[in-house]
Chains A and B, each alone.
Chain A
Amino acid sequence: MSLATDTASAARFARRELRGGLRGFRIFLACLALGVAAIAGIGMVRASIQMGLEEKGAELLGGDAEVRFTYRFAEAEERAWMAARATKVSEITDFRSMVVVDGPEGTERALTQIKSVDTAYPLLGAVTLAPDMPLDQALADHGAVMAPVLADRLGLEPGDNFRLGTQDFTLSALLMVEPDNAGGGFSLGPRTLVRTDALTDSGLLQPGTLFETHYRLQLPADTNLDTLETEARARFTETGGRWRDARNGAPGIGRFVDRLSNFLILVGLSGLAVGGVGVSAAVRAYLATKTSVIATLRTLGATRRVIFLTYFLQIGVLSLVGITIGLALGAIVPLALAPLLQSQLPVPAVFALHAQPLAEAALYGALTALIFTLWPLARTEDIRPATLFRDAMGGARLLPHWPYVATTLLLTAALLGAAALFSDFSGSRSGPRAGSLRP
């Protein structure tokens, strides 16, 4: 009999055997479904954040592109190059300093990350202040805004004065939302936002002081970022300018999300492996109840291949059910919790159905089910017809035939390879992507 004929017979027998229902397979289904759901859920959240970072890349960056210098402002020629290519340019400085508050009980000091901006800031998004007021108004006349945690630490309220370097400022409002903060990278202190002009007499932006300048560019819609990036790198490499654009507006966050997700998926895979032991035990228990049926089929003329295929197909169908339940849970739970997650996450996320993480989870689930069910299924070969009238299982070997051992090893290698491949691939997704600024 050919493999196709045997498979057809096995499929018919498997379908009839499945009439027995899911009794005895609840643990099998629970182990598989929960493991797949955990991996799918983590993957969905990761993909949602990645899509959020992609879609909001420009907002996180604070512009379509950015040229950054260390310890200096751009020269006139460099400003001219940027102005020629952008529809709008915003200059920002970023550095650490101390906020000094003189009070009746002495002087209070606290570390802060100062951002000084021009009137074009922000090119994208909006600053939210408390009390609500326009940023221009808040920063006028040596006005400043700062993060609530810093104001609270120093006991400052709107209208109070403080000093940066040698310049006095008045706290106009608290900084509730800073649209380009997520892409800013490492920060030692809470934010204080002032006008760059207001720092002229502060002594903080002098030659030799430590500061960075960011030139945010708003570009024409038809700008080819690949071409412009190549041009910028050629133009600024020698002068220390560094390029970043909206395709990868917050690379640090992207890398962090990838690494955290990879770790959590590794935890999920470990859970799936532990669940696999339950899967294996469930299959063993199920097949133990089928000894008589298998021996009867052997008596009637079923070959070992037909028997193996009969139960392989059954377990395959049940695995598909478990994986489907897991995928449904992994897809639905993040979507259902999207409002809560979005409010808690410090980065933007676009919660939607993402096919790739679901496919990854399905692959992990299928490989795990195969790895942990193959050996119990292989034991069906040891069931002889004589089992019908006496215990004829005594001679069962410890290990199945070598093809099953080899297949299990190959599947395990495939699972590990898939985990390595997907984690590497998800890491590469955080890198720059090619293409135009807007389609």
Chain B
Amino acid sequence: MTDPVLSLKDVHLALDGNAGRVEILHGITLDVAKGSSLGLIGPSGSGKSSLLMLMGGLERATGGSVTALGQELGAMGEDGLARFRRDHMGVVFQSFHLIPTMTALENVATPLELAGHRDAFDRAAAELEAVGLGHRADHYPAQMSGGEQQRVALARALAPRPAILLADEPTGNLDEANGGAIMDLLFGLRDRHGATLVLVTHAPSLAARCDNVVRLRDGRVDDVAREAAE
């Protein structure tokens, strides 16, 4: 494998809760090659989303190291991580997480504005066109369907041309038809932009569209899936 875009070595994650300390991930080690796609599958509570959040610097590992584009995420401060995500990562959530007081166009333009792009709105408009929502640019999230909201979220994640695209069950809140359309868009746009994709999903059929698949169980990588990934 060439230099991996994402590299996790013996990563542990433990969280303190009301019931005490809970071990979420136990010594995860895996690499993701540049331009490849990786599907993370496993039952609920297996640690898929937590692993994705660690890759995006949205969560901090309590042990081991997470490296993205050659940079150790654990060594960065909160603002450093925010800038790193702004410049190199796009994130798509199951619940869309669009900002309700912003129009579709403004939602897509937000990461570009944060990066200081003067043509933020032109690029955002083009990205909305690419997901087939150019005509809904001035609409607020509450005025759009779930499928449309997820397409806006996808446009927002891809607008800054990130090297890494992280998607956490992007079809989880959509019906089959809309889910299929979103996945077609996701893979199509990813292929066009050449981003490395990490996709969390419950659906084996979606995971099968990825170059590699890792199955998690109880916070550990399943051996069979590891072979598939490597």
Contact = CB atoms under 8 A, between A and B. Distances in A.
Contacts of A386: 53, 58-59
A163 interface: no
Interface in B76-94: 78-79, 82-83, 85-87, 91, 93
Given A12-B113, A301-B115, A389 B83 contact: no
B106 interface: yes
19 contacts: A9-B114, A19-B101, A293-B99, A293-B101, A296-B97, A297-B114, A299-B58, A299-B97, A300-B91, A301-B87, A301-B111, A301-B115, A302-B82, A303-B79, A303-B83, A304-B79, A304-B82, A305-B79, A389-B49
B155 to A, nearest CB: 13
A384 interface: yes
A300 B49 contact: no
By secondary structure, the A interface counts as helix
Interface string B31-60: 000000000000000000100010010110
Contacts, number: 78
Contacts of B168: 389
A326 B215 CA distance: 62
B99 A297 contact: yes
B83 A301 contact: yes
Contacts of B86: 300-302
A306 B116 CA distance: 12
A405 interface: no
Contact of B82 (A18, A298, A394): A298
Among A293, A305, A385, the most chain B Cβ lie within 10 Å of the Cβ of A385
Nearest to B166: A299
A154 interface: no
Given A16-B102, A300-B86, A300-B156, 15 more contacts: A1-B116, A9-B114, A19-B101, A20-B100, A293-B101, A296-B97, A296-B99, A297-B114, A300-B91, A301-B86, A301-B111, A303-B79, A305-B79, A386-B59, A388-B93
A343 interface: no
A394 B168 CA distance: 23
Contact of A16 (B17, B101, B114): B101
Contact of A300 (B17, B101, B111): B111
A292 B116 CA distance: 23
A386 B53 CA distance: 7
A-B pairs, top 8 by smallest CB distance, nearest first, are A301-B86, A385-B58, A303-B79, A300-B111, A301-B114, A296-B97, A19-B101, A386-B59
Contacts of A292: 97
Contact of A384 (B78, B99, B101): B78
